[in-house]
């Protein structure tokens, strides 16, 4: 699992990120997820979103690892969310055009790609005073969130029974609710992209309006 590169690079950056993380943990502990996503007063929105991308990356990794033995190339030969939604992988480099891959391959490629984004100083700056790219929220963050959503959609549609059997349902539901509330509040995922998990969101009390 990754953490911000800057956590060991400067005391200023480390202190800011530690404070933001403590704020997030404190509000999450209140069970009010809508409060937990709010930007702390005076803080930079890009840094707040970047911090959460790292946390969501780690949460998804943890949840998926717990059911990965059931998500095989044979059982999940296509990355999908039920019969109506299929996702193809593209990264603009090795996979320049969208290609059909199995779910475990898609998720592996996605997590490797996300880690590279997080570790890229040009994309996720950690040096004090270095600004985030102007399109960080609308391009980089939005794409990461949309792809993370697909992992949740796949787990809910194809591995929810396993999650229940392994007592992962509370963790999955809480992590997903936090993720969706955050994405909606900062307009990082378009309403149409929530279609595969719309029923789940309704059952969790999440609406596509912030």
Report whether pLDDT(110) > 70.
Answer: yes
Q: 133 is written with which tokens?
A: 């790219």
High-pLDDT (> 90) share of the chain, %: 70
From 71, 52, 62, 54, select the one nearest 155 (Cα to Cα). 71
Any binding-site annotation on 71?
yes
Q: Cα–Cα distance between 142 and 199 in angstroms, integer?
A: 22
**157 assigned binding-site residue:** no
Per residue in 168-210, pLDDT tens? 998 899 999 999 999 999 999 999 999 999 999 999 988 887 5
* Cα gap 133→124, rounded to integer Å: 8
Establish whether 163 is an annotated binding residue.
Answer: no
Write down the pLDDT at residue 29. 53
Contact between 149 and 194 (Cβ < 8 Å): yes
> Between 103-119 and 45-67, two packed helices, what is the crossing angle to 10 degrees?
150
Lowest mean pLDDT segment, chosen from 28-42, 102-116, 182-196: 28-42
pTM given for the model: 0.85
The pLDDT of residue 10 is above 50: no
User: DSSP labels for the chain?
Assistant: ----GGGGT-HHHHHHHHHHHHHHHHHHTTT-HHHHTSPPTT--HHHHHHHHHHHHHHHHHHHHHHHGGG--TTTT-S-BSSSS-B--B--SSSS-S-B---HHHHHHHHHHHHHHHHH-TTTS--STTPPPPTTIIIIIIHHHHHHHHHHHHHHHHHSHHHHHHTT-HHHHHHHHHHHHHHHHHTT-S-GGGGGGGHHHHHHTT--S--
Q: Would you say residue 43 has pLDDT above 70?
A: yes
Rounded CA separation 1/30 (Å): 26
Class of the CATH-defined domain 5-203: mainly alpha
Structural domain boundaries in the chain: 5-203
């Amino acid at each position: 699992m990754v953490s911000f590169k800057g956590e060991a690079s400067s005391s200023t950056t480390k202190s800011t990120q530690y404070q933001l993380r403590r704020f997030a943990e404190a509000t999450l502990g209140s069970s009010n997820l809508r409060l937990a996503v709010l930007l702390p007063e005076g803080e930079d929105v890009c840094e707040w979103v970047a911090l959460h991308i790292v946390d969501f990356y780690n949460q998804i990794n943890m949840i998926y690892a717990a059911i990965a033995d059931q998500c095989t190339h044979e059982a999940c030969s296509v990355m999908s969310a039920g019969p109506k939604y299929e996702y193809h992988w593209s990264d603009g480099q090795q996979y320049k055009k969208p290609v059909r891959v199995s779910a475990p391959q898609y998720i592996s490629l996605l997590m490797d790609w996300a880690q590279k984004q997080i570790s890229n100083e040009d994309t996720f700056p950690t040096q004090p005073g270095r600004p985030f790219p102007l399109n960080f929220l609308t391009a980089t963050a939005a794409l990461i969130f949309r792809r993370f959503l697909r992992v949740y959609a796949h787990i809910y549609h194809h591995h929810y029974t396993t999650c229940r059997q392994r007592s992962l349902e509370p963790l999955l539901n809480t992590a997903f609710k936090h993720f969706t509330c955050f994405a909606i509040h900062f307009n990082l995922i378009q309403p149409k992209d929530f279609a595969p998990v719309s029923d789940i969101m309704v059952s969790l009390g999440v609406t596509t309006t912030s």
